Amino acid sequence: MLTPLSRFLAEQPAPESLRQLILAVADACRDIGHAVNTSAIEGLTGALEQENVQGEMQKKLDVIANDMMLEARRWGGHVSALVSEEMEEIYPLISGEYLLVFDPIDGSSNVDVNGVVGTIFSVLKAPEGPIAEADVLQPGRRQLAAGYAIYGPQTTLVLTLGAGVSAFSLDQKTGDWLMTTPRMTIPASTREFAINMSNHRHWMPSVRRYIDECLAGKTGVRGADFNMRWLASMVGDVHRVLTRGGIFMYPVDSRKGIGKLRLMYEANPIAFLIEQAGGLATDGVNPILDIQPDDLHQRVGVVLGSREEVERVADYHKA
């Protein structure tokens, strides 16, 4: 008998309010997953003629999923403010113990080609009283919970409350989330990497060195053949890393001197999961979870996954 998410949460040493919030997030992800699954039938594919705060063209599903997350009725008075990658400012609610930070549709460019997409979320403690932007700018070490839902062949919720990582698959018949992987653990060393090779000319020398050594295979200094994967969806590539190991990289490059991924909405929650599964998550050198945010939409370089490979990249950066 597979353990339901509700029973799993009841057994965790977490406040009841946090357990109820996680159940509400799971319900929202189930609804977003349904919208993704039926997007072609409902005419929800394609882009809108508008940009989000990131300067990116919004997909129809970006807006629909974001609106689903903004429904105050979902949160049962547990959330003081919602913070979304799709919005410039925080979205205050009446009251609550927590702040919910999220990317409603990660990898939305994949929607039109029926590729993997997901929802990423992070839970922070809220101070008492009205919420200001500064209250949200907490380093990743202060996260109380984090996770993502991945909408692929299975709809799967991957979750941590700071005591390991568990995966739950959605039973499409009953709407229940059932535990399918009790404790996800990343192998310390594997021979697989995920990176956008089209940016090779923009990478720092240390990143090019690492990837070129992987590409050299058995005849190179690593003495082993590596596989490359790239899904253009962070949740998709990270789910593979959590499942069978490897390294995921979206490094800083020479064009702007900053990374592409957002610290609050993507890097922090995923780094929390990776560390809880025994891996490492860095900006290339420093742990992502130790970074003090200075902006809601701050970007950061990301190198995460199997411990030995991430440490090698950090050593190359220091050389």
Binding residues for Mg(2+): 85, 103, 105-106, 266
In degrees and rounded to multiples of 5, residue 85 shows phi and psi of: -60, -25
**Count of CB atoms situated within 10 Å of the CB of 132:** 12
Residue 119 CA to residue 266 CA, distance in Å, equals 10
Computed on alpha carbons and rounded to an integer, the radius of gyration of the chain in Å comes to: 19
Binding residues for substrate: 106-109, 196, 260
Decide if 68 contacts 31 (C-beta within 8 A). yes
* Three-class secondary structure of residue 49 per DSSP: strand
Residue 197 CA to residue 185 CA, distance in Å, equals 27
Q: What is the DSSP track for 50-92?
A: EE-TTS-EEEHHHHHHHHHHT-GGGGTT-EEEEEETT-SS-EE
CA torsion 137→202→47→72, rounded to 10°?
A: -10
Binding residues: 85, 103, 105-109, 196, 260, 266
The pairing of beta strand 165-170 with beta strand 177-181? antiparallel
